[in-house]
A and B are shown apart, each in its own frame.
Chain A
Amino acid sequence: MTKLLEWLLGVSLVLAAWAVVSFDLLELRLPQSYREAAWPMPLYLLVSFGCYSLGTVGYRVATFNDCDEASAELLGQIQEAKQDLRKKGLKI
């Protein structure tokens, strides 16, 4: 199963459950309060997922390591390498 199908399956399951509760499709005679609570659920889900995404990406951008030492080490090694290679007879 492709990821696309997995997603479609997941989304339709959630939507089906939502429809069953909010429109009482199976005539379960659920209390009115259940139906009212369920009705805006998809929107809540969407908004919370959006917030979670923004939060996660924001946090990860803020904590993305800047490897200053790695760059400094590399620049040092470049000098070392150039000297050694020249000694070994490399002509650039």
Chain B
Amino acid sequence: MASRKASQPKRDSGDKYSILLPTYNERENLPLIVWLLVKYFGESGYNYEIIVIDDGSPDGTLEVAEQLQKIYGEDKILLRPRATKLGLGTAYIHGIKHATGNFVIIMDADLSHHPKFIPEFIKKQKEGDYDLVSGTRYQGNGGVYGWDLRRKLISRGANFLSQVLLRPGASDLTGSFRLYKKAVLESLVERCVSKGYVFQMEMIVRARQLNYTIGEVPISFVDRVYGESKLGGNEIVSFVKGLITLFATT
């Protein structure tokens, strides 16, 4: 025990957190998010690794990731790239396979999800031994930045509708900033078939179905500063389709 304590300044739990960062054209954001992750994990003293899953970004994200690996070390930054853009859902599956932690944190690499909340997620998880902890924009001090009235209305309306229809026991269904016990994430990912936003929604709905316990931490969601959104397009249509599918099948 003594030696383990020495290597983990403040913590002696033996827990390790694997952060999955799927990237597609995030060359500007990746160094910043990694820097912030290193900063907050350094301050809080938890054991961690960052797994970057780049899908052959044409902007050279992978090359930047390799530089970061040299700076921060191969034990902290793991690169698990894929040759082509295969989508977010399979990126998570791919990442989990290589995760060595007993907890996995999923977040966007576009700085919308701030690493400062991770210590709060971890604290929350330990408080109730939760199977998963979900960030929520809709409760407490949570919120958004850079959203106009229309976007707020759509977001709140969609959330209300999903709450009424699915009663999932979590306030933020489409958010993708979450901490999972690794085994829980594996069992969920196996079962989830949806794409895009609906994937996040399906994960939490299935979690409730399987009687996993869910903790929530309010987060602020800041719209991306750099780069372009990859979802978009028929977001609303696919959301409604996904909602109906989950309504009829779960």
Contacts and interface: CB of A to CB of B under 8 A. Distances in A.
A3 B247 contact: yes
Contact of B68 (A64, A65, A90): A90
Interface string A48-65: 000001001100110011
Contact of B220 (A70, A81, A82, A91): A70
Interface stretch (A12-20, A24-32, A35-43, A72-80): A72-80
A2 interface: yes
A56 B35 CA distance: 40
Interface residues of B, number: 41
A56 to B, nearest CB: 6
A15 to B, nearest CB: 19
A75 B225 CA distance: 9
17 contacts: A2-B248, A3-B166, A3-B246, A3-B247, A3-B248, A4-B248, A57-B157, A61-B152, A64-B143, A64-B156, A65-B143, A67-B221, A70-B145, A77-B32, A78-B225, A81-B36, A82-B31
A90 B27 CA distance: 12
Nearest to B112: A74
Contacts of B114: 70, 74
A84 B67 CA distance: 14
Given A3-B247, A61-B149, A65-B142, A56 B160 contact: yes
Interface of A: 2-4, 7, 53, 56-57, 60-61, 64-68, 70-71, 74-75, 77-78, 81-82, 84-85, 88-92
**Chief secondary structure at chain B's binding surface:** helix
Given A4-B247, A57-B153, A61-B152, A90 B146 contact: no
A66 B143 contact: yes
B249 interface: yes
A81 to B, nearest CB: 4
Contacts of A68: 145
B145 A71 contact: yes
Interface string B165-183: 1110000000000000000
A60 B71 contact: no
B92 interface: no
A65 B141 contact: yes
A85 B38 CA distance: 12
A82 B138 CA distance: 31
